[in-house]
Amino acid sequence: MASLAIDLNLNPFSITTDDTPVKVREVQTGFYNDDDDVEEEDCSFEKQVDHGMVGDLSSENRKLKEMLTIIWDHNNSLQTQVKKLMKDRELIVSNPKKRKLDETVEQSSWNRPNEELPNTGIHRVYVKTDPSDKSLVVKDGYQWRKYGQKVTRDNPSPRAYYKCSFAPTCPVKKKVQRSVDDAGVVVATYEGEHNHRSSKQEATYALANEYEIFSRQRRSMVTPKAFDQVLVQQMTDCLTKDPNFTAQLAATISSRILDFDL
């Protein structure tokens, strides 16, 4: 069964003191169970925060904790949304007559299982999009630079050629073209493997690193106030100002729900 990696980064602070890269949450088919380890991890986060901060809370520390609480609340509300969507899905599954594919579904929320071409390093991804949208953009978390477009013989819609924006360091290319069979489906063909993290993974990693530095400075009691403010601001921005954050979450959840039914 396919798994889906999501950079929701619900617990970005689960890092060790060595240089081990922060673990990116990989959501398996079960998604969130009520009794899964998420809450345990989150509790440990709360303990970690309390342990490091409660004591001689200066006004800055109080401010910091308040903002962390906001982030924490966002985290909880998102989990609530997840659970609600899971319940909705159960209702839909138990009453299939009501189910119909939402025509306004966002592109990332409708993925057919990836098609892996053996021994080629090539795989295809099918993405549902608005047929009237001719942009041929597939959001996959990486940055791409378009370097060509061609109309091919077997398909009236043009094929777009992209290189990873980290080229030539990263050799990955992708071709994007509408399906001949269904103009509402875009086929993205990927060649090669990325030798770097996606932009979202990078943001998560950077945040985790900053938190590590922050933690060390906390421990040595030499934290500059300005650093506190910058860190808190970045952490808050990460969750609250990303315009795609909630939409991405909803789309991903929908994707998982639909995958169940395919």
**Of 80, 165, 195, 199, the one binding DNA by CB under 7 A:** 165
Query: Which listed range, 81-89, 160-168, 208-216, 234-242, lies at the site for DNA (CB under 7 A)?
Result: 160-168
Q: Does 225 bind DNA (CB under 7 A)?
A: no
Q: Is 148 in the site for DNA (CB under 7 A)?
A: yes
By CB under 7 A, residue 132 contacts DNA: no
User: Rule CB under 7 A: is residue 149 a binding residue for DNA?
Assistant: yes
Whether the CB-CB separation of 145 and 165 falls below 8 Å is answered with yes
In order, the DSSP letters of 232-254 are HHHHHHHHHT-TTHHHHHHHHHH
Q: How many residues bind DNA (CB under 7 A)?
A: 16
- In 3D space, the residue among 117, 98, 39 whose CA is nearest the CA of residue 72 turns out to be 39
The dihedral built from the CA positions of residue 230, 236, 240 and 246, taken in this order, carries a sign that is positive
**Smallest separation (angstroms) from DNA to the CB of 174:** 9
Phi/psi at 147 (5° precision): -125, 5
- Output the smallest distance, CB 158 to DNA, in A: 8
Instruction: Note whether 173 binds DNA by CB under 7 A.
Output: yes
Tokens, residue 100: 């119909």
Q: Give the binding site for DNA (CB under 7 A).
A: 144-150, 152-154, 159-161, 165, 173, 175
